[in-house]
Amino acid sequence: MKRTIVPFGPQHPVLPEPIHLDLVLEDEKVVEAIPSFGFVHRGMEDLASKRDFNDYLYVVERICGICSYMHGMAYCEGAERIFGVEIPDRAKYLRTIWCELSRLHSHLLWLGLLADAFGFEALFMQSWRVREKILDMVEDSTGGRLISSVNRIGGVARDMDSAMLAGFVAQFDKMESELRALTKVFLTDSTVRARLFEVGVLTKQDALLYGAVGPMMRASGIELDTRKLGYAAYGKLDFDIITSNGCDALARCEVRIGEIFQSFRLIRQAVDKIPAGEIYIPVSGNPKGEATVRVEQPRGEALYYMKANGTRNLERFRVRTPTFSNVYSLLKILPGAQFADVPLLILTIDPCISCTER
Amino acid sequence: MPTISKSPWMMHYDGSSCNGCDIEVLACLTPLYDIERFGVINTGDPRQADILLITGGVNYHNESVVKQIYEQMPTPKVVVAVGICACSGGVFKDCYNIKGGVDTTIPVDIYVPGCAARPESIIDGVLQAVELLARKQTEAESATAAEGEAQ
Amino acid sequence: MKEMIEKTSIGPAVLKQYMKEAAAEGCRLVQIHANRMDGRYELIYSLALEYRLIQLYMVILEDTEIESISSIYPAAQLYEQEMVELFGVKIRNVAEDPHVKLYHVKGHPMK
């Protein structure tokens, strides 16, 4: 059959971010997807050698505006391991709470974008309406909506008092009931199911082989969550790893929805258990040594590698972001899909191109 | 009489931004901020757009894309640079692949500050763009009218 | 759970064999990256088995050509492509698809 090549992106109405794929089609069916990136590549890893390691924290936070908090936290965690300092317990709990707030806003953002991708505009608006409440909490506690800059090497820069924490938890009940109604539409509505069910199947073996991470991997039945490593205060909190055996787009949706409710549970526990005390211990001198940190971002496991040689600048900073790892799976689930499902499939990996290219 | 100011169409392109400003641009469309109450509609098609919102700086690879989108838009058109990276390159200015702000590639009319730019300031920027668009349209119309009289 | 990181050094000659055994054991590839050292590259291959992280360090000379592991871990081709574009590491049979281009940068900016 005659093959057609359709360029997809970089400017595309469905995705706010630029990604370019050359889709090789036979009629409406995708045969092959050839990626071409570089529209957001800035060269941030190289900047590590030009910036002071304390200042570089603010650059790391801007790898991605959505998981900004977790990038900053992982960088500080790595630097603390190099310095060999243990941060105060209260700071660990505060970090956990902020992490889960960013997971909540990221997953709600994704739900909205997914709804937009299959043309359910009301659902998009409703998801983002709930998301704004989370952003209000982030803003109340850090001062910024997306880029919060509250991490410091040695702790956190701001505290949350008990009235603020209680105020957050008090809002959760209403939000949870709103979200239950909302997520029911995602999981049971027949028009939504028609777009998601058995679309973009990635089997368990393939997920392992192609290096899928995060919800993408867990939706293929692999039970792994880097939070179980116990960084920040996760080691002292109780939570389940949400998995699904569906392996399709609906399963990925299901896993992320499960994680939303799990995040509420984690924040509630952290608020109950948070100890009083210091939030910061001063760290001085220049780092020397290397550290590898893994954290679970909303999109999956991210790996940070830092190498310091005793000067003000890091010798090497490397981050492997979850989307970079998931891109290969995306390229493998696209062949065989219908052309109309392509934007939807790209969205199911929860792409973050600025993370991927740095 | 400029009518475009009642229903301008806006297009968003993500340069090399960190995603923060993009998400805030999208947040402007959602119920809390609702930029559509000013008649602004987000479109994906440059040929129908009056206002171009660019977030993030320009790198050597997307330079041609930005130029192409700008050229595809009908005149009069207004370019809004959203966020500090789009204004000047921001924290990424020293990166090897960053050319600089949007104004290194195409003419920019409105600069919106912030990292990430807040929805309120993005709405302010868009509304200023709408005013400018109306002014540009009036100028263009009177220029054509003067030309007609001269003939 | 305390994070376990195992560090091993490895030579380019046994890399592929090691990867084959790791894949048979069920390890997944987490990432590959290069570090610049004077006149040499340090390549780090990270593998993970459940929550265990295995870091393989491989130091090679600038002009040493290494074997691609994308036949064992297909996802490795993106990481290898990245090293080729940014650092100029020489890798044999890097991608099954020659069209894949990641960053479109001129030269090797991190070389």
Q: What distance in Å separates the CA atoms of residue A126 and residue A245, rounded to the nearest whole number?
A: 28
Percent residues over pLDDT 70 in chain A: 100
pLDDT for the residue numbered C95: 59
pLDDT tier, C100 (very low <50, low <70, confident <90, very high otherwise): low
Task: Say if CB B91 and CB B56 are below 8 A apart.
Answer: no
Question: Which tokens belong to A151?
Answer: 């991490």
Q: Could you identify the residue written with the tokens 């499902």?
A: A341
Task: Say if CB A78 and CB B127 are below 8 A apart.
Answer: no
pLDDT above 80 for C106: no
Q: What distance in Å separates the CA atoms of residue A299 and residue C38, rounded to the nearest whole number?
A: 36
Q: What is the CA radius of gyration of chain C?
A: 14
Chain B environment of A147 (Cβ under 8 Å): 20, 115-116
- Domain of B72 in residue numbering reads as 4-136
CA distances from A242 to A255, A265, B28, B145 (A): 6, 13, 32, 67
The region of weakest confidence among A86-95, A175-184, B36-45, B114-123 is B36-45
pLDDT for the residue numbered B32: 85
pLDDT for the residue numbered A107: 92
Among A40, A208, A304, the strongest candidate for a mutation testing the C interface, having the largest count of C CBs within 10 A, is: A208
Number of B–C residue contacts, CB under 8 Å: 11
Q: What CATH number has the domain bearing residue B18? A: 3.40.50.12280
Among C87, C103, C108, C110, the strongest candidate for a mutation testing the B interface, having the largest count of B CBs within 10 A, is: C103
Residues in Cβ contact with A69 at an 8 Å cutoff, skipping those fewer than 6 apart: A61, A98, A99, A101, A102, A148, A150, A151
Chain B environment of C109 (Cβ under 8 Å): 96-97
pLDDT above 80 for B72: yes
- A291: β partners: A306
Q: Break chain A into its structural domains and give their ranges.
A: 42-353
Question: Residue range C21-35: average pLDDT?
Answer: 87
Q: Do C106 and B60 touch (CB under 8 A)?
A: yes
Of B14, B44, B61, the CB nearest to A38: B61
Q: Break chain C into its structural domains and give their ranges.
A: 5-92
Return the number of other C-beta atoms located less than 10 Å from residue A137's C-beta. Answer: 22
Q: What is the CA radius of gyration of chain A?
A: 20
The tens digit of pLDDT for each residue in A243-302 reads 888 888 899 999 999 999 999 999 999 999 888 888 888 888 888 888 889 899 898 889
B151 belongs to a structural domain:
no
pLDDT above 70 for C96: no
Nearest to C55 by CA among C88, C33, C38: C33
The region of weakest confidence among A148-157, A240-249, C70-79, C99-108 is C99-108
- A5: β partners: A24
Chain B environment of C105 (Cβ under 8 Å): 60-61, 96-97
Q: Is A167 on the interface with C (CB under 8 A)?
A: no
| Domain count across chain B | 1
Question: Residue range B18-39: average pLDDT?
Answer: 86
Q: Do B97 and A41 touch (CB under 8 A)?
A: yes
Q: What is the DSSP string of B15-74?
A: -B--SHHHHHHHHTTSTTT-GGGGT-EEES-GGG-SEEEEESBEETTTHHHHHHHHHHSP
Q: Which CATH number applies to C5-92?
A: 3.30.460.80
Task: Say if CB A45 and CB A28 are below 8 A apart.
Answer: no
- Nearest chain C residue to B97 by CA distance is C105
Q: What distance in Å separates the CA atoms of residue C54 and residue A211, rounded to the nearest whole number?
A: 15
Q: What distance in Å separates the CA atoms of residue A97 and residue B36, rounded to the nearest whole number?
A: 34
Q: Is A238 on the interface with C (CB under 8 A)?
A: no
Q: SS3 string of chain A? A: CCCEEEEECCCCCCCCCCCEEEEEEECCEEEEEEEECCCCCCCHHHHCCCCCHHHHHHHHCCCCCCCHHHHHHHHHHHHHHHHCCCCCHHHHHHHHHHHHHHHHHHHHHHHHHHHHHCCCHHHHHHHHHHHHHHHHHHHHHHCCCCCCCCEECCEECCCCCHHHHHHHHHHHHHHHHHHHHHHHHHHHCHHHHHHHCCCCCCCHHHHHHCCCCCHHHHCCCCCCCHHHHCCCCHHHCCCCCCCCCCCCHHHHHHHHHHHHHHHHHHHHHHHHHCCCCCCECCCCCCCEEEEEEEEEECCEEEEEEEEEECCCCEEEEEEECHHHHHHHHHHHHCCCCEHHHHHHHHHHCCCCHHHHHC
Question: Residue range A55-77: average pLDDT?
Answer: 89
CATH class in words for A42-353? mainly alpha
pLDDT tier, C1 (very low <50, low <70, confident <90, very high otherwise): low
Chain A environment of B12 (Cβ under 8 Å): 16
pLDDT for the residue numbered A348: 87
Closest CA of chain C from B94, distance in Å: 13
The tens digit of pLDDT for each residue in B88-110 reads 888 888 888 888 889 888 999 99
pLDDT for the residue numbered B2: 60
Mean pLDDT of chain B: 86
The tens digit of pLDDT for each residue in A143-200 reads 888 888 888 888 888 888 888 889 999 999 889 999 999 888 888 888 888 888 888 8
pLDDT for the residue numbered C51: 85
